[in-house]
Amino acid sequence: MNETSEKKFRIYFEKETRKPSEEAPVTFDMFTVVFLDLFKNYKNDIFLYENPEEDPFYQNLKKLENIPQETQPTVEDNKPKPNNIDDIFFEYLKEFYNQMNPDYFHFMFKFVIMFRQCINKLKNPSTFNPPEPKNYYTQHNNAEGVPDLCNDFVTEFMEPQDYFGMETMELIEIIQHLCHWLFIKNFTTSRLTLV
């Protein structure tokens, strides 16, 4: 990976629209609040089930509510490495949540949820409709092929829905950020390349 892209991702959260706000920091309780907001707004479009409690991703988020805010989750060498996409996406959110402002956190979180649901819909439609969240593809598979799904995510999932109101250039940026992170954390051997 060249030095320019390394620098781009090193300073990713320094952009004015992303950088953290001391007046309004992102807190752990925002994880479930944002999930519930997305669930309410897109229940009939991407979730397709009645109760957010059915979703293992949401259950992971609820665990953060019991952690004191001053105790930030850290990456520990002896901690088991996440092995499924849901856990990996959860780690991605935990690693960066305190490096951005609440608006960008909402954007990032929405992207993660949309991408997750797209992966489940594309890779195993039978567990997506009717929904069986505990059997979702993202619950039982690693992230090796995730970068290969980015084009389908944009063209087949986001574009027909007018990107679910997300700004397209920022969406492309965060796709690149996630894929770079997946690569440097050894969750995938694939590199995303824009052509």
Question: Model confidence over 153-169: pLDDT tens digits?
Answer: 999 999 999 999 999 99
Asked whether residue 73 is assigned to any structural domain, the reply reads no
Which of 122, 113, 18, 132 lies closest to 60 in space, CA to CA? 113
Peptide bond before 125: cis, by omega within 30 degrees of 0?
no
Task: For residue 129, name the pLDDT band (cuts at 50, 70, 90).
Answer: confident
Say how far apart CA 122 and CA 129 lie, in whole Å: 11
The number of distinct structural domains making up the chain is 1
Residues 33-49 pLDDT 10s: 999 999 999 999 999 89
Asked whether residue 71 is assigned to any structural domain, the reply reads no
Report pTM: 0.91
Q: Is 71 helix (H, G, I), strand (E, B) or coil?
A: coil
Asked whether residue 41 is assigned to any structural domain, the reply reads yes
How many of the other CB atoms lie within 10 Å of CB of 151?
12
Asked whether residue 190 is assigned to any structural domain, the reply reads no
Per-residue CA distances from 81 to 8, 23, 59, 68, 87 (Å): 26, 34, 19, 23, 9
Average pLDDT on 112-131 reads 94
Asked whether residue 189 is assigned to any structural domain, the reply reads no
